[in-house]
Structure 1
Amino acid sequence: MKKLFLAAAIAVFGLSNAQTFGLKAGANVSSVSNSDDSKAKFGFYGGAFVNVPLSASFNIQPEVLYSGKGVKADGSADTTLSLDYISVPVMFQYKATPQFYLEAGPEFSFLISSKLKSGGHSLDVKDGFNGFDFGVGLGIGYDFTSNFGANIRYVAGVTDIVKNNNGDSSKNGVFQFGLTYKFAK
Structure 2
Amino acid sequence: MKKIIFAAIAVMAFGFTNAQKTRFGVKGGLNISNFSADYNTDALVGFQLGGFAEIKVIDKLVIQPELLFSAQGAKYSFDRRDYNIRLNYFNIPVLAKYYITKEFTVEAGPQLGFLVSATNDGDNVNGDYKTIDAGFNLGAGYNFTDNLSLGLRYTIGLTGIEKDRDYGFYGRGYDDTRSGVLALSLGYKF
TM-score with structure 1 setting the length: 0.86
1:169 equivalenced with 2:173 (yes/no): no
Rg bigger for which structure?
1
Stretches of structure 2 lacking an aligned partner (at least 5 in a row): 1-12, 166-171
Note the C-alpha offset of 1:12: 5.5
1:91 equivalenced with 2:75 (yes/no): no
Measure the CA separation in 1 of the matches of 2:109 and 2:39. Answer: 29
Alignment match, 2:189: 182
1:156 equivalenced with 2:156 (yes/no): yes
**Which residue type is aligned with residue 71 of structure 1?**
A
CA deviations 1:12-53 (Å, max 9, x no partner) are 654112100000000000001115232100000010000001
Q: 2:47 aligns with which of 44, 49, 52?
A: 44
Note the C-alpha offset of 1:79: 1.3
CA deviations 1:135-158 (Å, max 9, x no partner) are 000000011001101000000000
Secondary structure (helix, strand or coil) at the match of 1:160 reads: coil
Measure the CA separation in 2 of the matches of 1:178 and 1:38. Answer: 24
The number of residues matched between the two structures is 170
- Whether the aligned pair in 2 keeps the contact of 1:39 and 1:74 (CA below 8 Å) is no
Taking a change above 3 Å as real, the CA distance of residues 11 and 177 of structure 1, as seen in their structure-2 partners, is closer
Measure the CA separation in 2 of the matches of 1:58 and 1:113. Answer: 35
Q: How does 1:10-21 map to 2 (within 5 A)?
A: 14-21=17-24
Q: 1:82 aligns with which of 67, 81, 86?
A: 86
**Which residue type is aligned with residue 183 of structure 2?**
Q
TM-score with structure 2 setting the length: 0.84
Measure the CA separation in 2 of the matches of 1:161 and 1:19. Answer: 34
Measure the CA separation in 1 of the matches of 2:73 and 2:147. Answer: 31
CA deviations 1:51-89 (Å, max 9, x no partner) are 001000100000000001100125763410000000000
**Which residue type is aligned with residue 98 of structure 1?**
K
1:55 equivalenced with 2:23 (yes/no): no
